[in-house]
Amino acid sequence: MSAVEQIRVEADETGLRLDRWFKIHYPGLGFGHLQKLLRSGQVRVDGGRAKTDTRVEAGQLIRVPPMGVDAGRPRTAVLTSNTMRDKHDGDVLSQMLIYEDEKVFVFNKPAGLAVQGGSGVARHVDGMLEAWRNRKGEKPRLVHRIDRDTSGILVVARTRGAAVSLTKSFRERDTKKLYWALVKGVPAPHEGRVSTYLVKEQTRDGDRMRVARHGEEGADHALSHYRVVDQVAQAFAWIEMEPYTGRTHQLRVHAAHIGHPILGDPKYFEHDTNWEFPGGVQQRLHLHARRIVIPHPDGGRRIDQIAPLPPHMVQTWNLFGFDEAAEND
């Protein structure tokens, strides 16, 4: 780079420390070199001096002088329900794809994209899969679902035989599905299980699940496990959730049932009138299907895939200083 550049901070970079921002954009730049540039005022944020621990915000302009190091690979546009609007179905599927072999596709579904059609749904994954019919005319098949507003792992079978095998694995619960969520408050104990019966009810805002009364007709058993990964004082908690059963909205209902609803949940988040939504956090559902471990249709091994967080959760994780590596602690 031979000239001064002004680079605008992206929405999913909000909350990043300035040194981490440079590490992403200019991986060859040493920390000591960056400190010298900051001390001399050559690197500025919105025209003002900054430090390595300055946290950047979306829309800010970062002045980057000639540094003699190569920039990282250009950032690709983040896939969201808005950015995919003018893209061809096949292109959207390609950008969602995180794993494939002869029998299976694994996608990272963005929040806001429905898996199947329904009332008021113009575009959905099942319809988009028409673009990926194979030479025999076979369309890839859905084998499970995740909520429209939930992002993350979605497994799709490429053949009829693979669909039978994968569906059996889900039905017999021979799969491990892990979700990440941000909830209000901090659950106590930090690890636990939630076991209830759930029933669907009609409301003015559409179908909604609720915890059933003892012996209520039409109720199904739902079992979830949770673990607190990190927290912000006693105000918020990053939790990992594992559904043992697969009921509609199960994790969302269970989080609310234990008194710690998922932030941004339009159906199940309730709070008192004195509570304010945290600044810098988007009012979108903070629930992400992070990981799946499932037997491969051919047998003998398991598919184990992790889906990166969606932009609104990246922003929140940066804001709260959550370290994704902490999930393994």
Instruction: Say how far apart CA 144 and CA 132 lie, in whole Å.
Output: 18
205 is catalytic: no
Instruction: Say how far apart CA 236 and CA 243 lie, in whole Å.
Output: 21
Please tell me whether residue 14 adopts helix, strand or coil conformation. coil
Instruction: Say how far apart CA 328 and CA 318 lie, in whole Å.
Output: 18
Following CA atoms 208, 210, 216, 220 in sequence, which dihedral angle do they give, to the nearest 10 degrees?
Answer: 80
Residue identified by tokens 């005022």 is 41
Please calculate the CA angle 205-210-214 and round it to the nearest 5 degrees.
145
List all residues 6 or more positions away from 61 whose beta carbon is below 8 Å from its beta carbon.
6, 7, 8, 9, 45, 46, 47
β-pairing, 206-211 vs 104-109, is: unpaired
Instruction: Say how far apart CA 8 and CA 38 lie, in whole Å.
Output: 18
Catalytic residue from among 53, 91, 147, 207? 147
Residues catalogued as catalytic: 147
